[in-house]
Amino acid sequence: MKFSYKFLAVCCATLALTSCKDVLDKTDLSSTSGDLIFKDSTLSQMNLDYIYDQNLPTGIATLGPSTPSVTSLTDESFGESKLLEGTLLVNEVSDFGTALSATNNYGKIRVINMFLSDVKNGSLPQATKNKLRGQAQFFRAWRYFDLVRLYGGVPLVLTPLAAVGVEARDAAFLPRNTTAESFAQIVKDLDSTIASVPGKWASSADWGRITKGAAAALKGRVLMTAASPQFNPSDDQTKWQAAYDANKQAYDLLTANGYGLHASFDQLWFQEVNNPEAVFLTGYNTSTGDQTKKNNGYDNATRPSYNGTGGGSNQPSWEMVKAFPMLDGKKPTESTKYAYTDQLFYKNRDPRFDKTIAYNGVTWPLNGNTANKVWTYFAGGKTVEAKASNTGFYARKAINPTAAIGDVQYSGTDWIEIRFAEVLLNLAESAVGVNKLDEAYTQLKAVRKRAGLEAGTDGLYGLKANMSRTELFDAILYERQIEFAFEGKRFWDLRRWKLIEKTLNGTRRTGVTINLKTTGVPADFATTRDNVSLDLAYTNYFTLVFKQLDTKYAINWKPEYYFFAIPQTAIDNNPKLIQNTTWGGAFDPLK
């Protein structure tokens, strides 16, 4: 990422002093007025960059401080949670914000609203104002979407509220807007962004700034959520049409500006400027300096532990491992060309399998070692790893293979929140919603072709011919599960389709312990294993033992979790807030 939101706002302000002497000469920075700041384009831009820094997604999301990453709330991975245990309390999804804080959703919205107001009232040229405001409106839409998909309709605060006095306090007691009104405001902000920002920024120094296509893609995601069963249980076709129109607009804007699928499914994470797949992203750098450092923590947290680095998080479950298709695009239980067995689970799989899942014996270039092999087996009851994988597997997506051990903690790999592949699959899903089934096939085939699946004699890349609307919806959700594994999308997909109970309830996720046999194994296996055929090793030397990861409870997601409770502490602070009907209140989140 190239532009200045990589740096902390304080650092930005300090660095800018030398170039803004005409504005800041002999000025007390602690009390600088908005009138002074927002007649200078450099200072206005620094304020906008602070909004970027505060609002860009930092990786796989959580649902507040008491919940794990959303990857752990699905069949992708494993993590204990009150949501899956079925014991969630009313205050425990606290993204709503229950205190005065600059870091909760409404605290961030306040900063955005102040920026929008000050830019509007400033003396910059109108075209500059529009461009600045358009980017800020994107992030206000982003914040409100985060709230609405959790709770349903929320109070829409679109201007800075006064902060002091009894009257100001009373004016801040706002009721919840309806869910429909909330979605409409999100769309309105994104439409303003689309009208105000470029389709592609001219300078590489602006790589990562919000574009027309990014705003349209988020609009497509928002309206597809609004059309999904969570918000649209009656399958209202007007909602699917709105979603289709938005995703078609995103596709058209992005392709017109040079966006498209990256040639490589795994290497797409490591190209920054002019990466055709990166629609909406968070930029990171490799700096070790305290004032300029903005490193990506996902890489170090996810890779296996080696010499004190790597946390081994986001470990794939056996359910995720088995989910991948075979090389012909058919599910393991459906392929007639490639036989599947649990013992040789890695053979003839979708090419995305090896690029997403690291398993015992796989060659995985890591820490600068291009010949590195990962071994996760147990010998004599003891792991051969410094720290054993709990599931037997690791996620390898977006892990930089060339980073040296000492540099891993300073990873600069950008996090891509919206990829062009998502735009294609969003368009496919919304096309199915309006019965444009052939168009859905087109987008699905494009994603599968890039993945490297065999086209087959029918050119369908393993897709069933002549699928019904219901079958195509299922096929797209399945494709999303594979394509976006460990990108934080699976939880939201299952939730908006209200499929968490069907997918998880009553089950316990599974891991694998791979044991080295006690007989028939060469005495020097530990030193020669890198040169042994993997098929031979798995057939003759290893046994697979399956274990339950959810040991404390069977999963028990409850229907009321499709709209979380407004925290009671927020209601205590604002008597005009009404609780959701599913949590004992009178507010209907479907209206």
Q: What is the pLDDT of residues 132-168, one digit of tens each?
A: 999 999 999 999 999 999 999 999 999 998 765 666 6
Separation of alpha carbons 198 and 11, rounded Å: 27
Number of domains in the chain: 1
Q: Is the dihedral of CA 457, 460, 466, 468 positive or negative?
A: positive
8 Å CB contact between 276 and 420: yes
Interaxial angle between packed helices 420-433 and 469-483, expressed in degrees from 0 to 180 and rounded to the nearest 10: 170
List, for residues 159-189, the tens digit of each pLDDT value. 998 765 666 677 788 999 999 999 999 999 9
Separation of alpha carbons 206 and 1, rounded Å: 8
Range of the domain at 519: 297-413+510-548
Residue 40 covered by a domain: no
Residue 373 covered by a domain: yes
Q: Where are the alpha helices (DSSP H) in 99-210?
A: 105-121, 126-151, 166-171, 179-196
Residue 124 covered by a domain: no
**pLDDT band of 27, cuts 50, 70, 90:** very low
Separation of alpha carbons 543 and 392, rounded Å: 12
Q: Which residues pair with 544 in a beta bridge?
A: 514
Residue 3 DSSP label: S
Residue 341 covered by a domain: yes
**Residue 184 CB partners (closer than 8 Å, separation 6+):** none
235: left (phi over 0), alpha (psi -120 to 50) or beta: left
Please state, for a pLDDT cut of 90, what percent of the chain lies above it.
Answer: 82
- Residue 560 pLDDT more than 70? yes
Residue 379 covered by a domain: yes
8 Å CB contact between 310 and 304: yes
8 Å CB contact between 211 and 159: no
Residue 327 covered by a domain: yes
Q: How many CB atoms lie within 10 A of CB 575?
A: 9
The better pLDDT of the pair 165, 324 is held by: 324
Comparing 2-6, 324-328, 377-381, the range with the smallest average pLDDT is 2-6
Residue 29: predicted pLDDT: 39
Specify the residue for token string 């004016």. 171
Residue 317 covered by a domain: yes
- Residue 406 pLDDT more than 60? yes
- Residue 31 pLDDT more than 50? no
Residue 558 covered by a domain: no
Separation of alpha carbons 3 and 11, rounded Å: 13
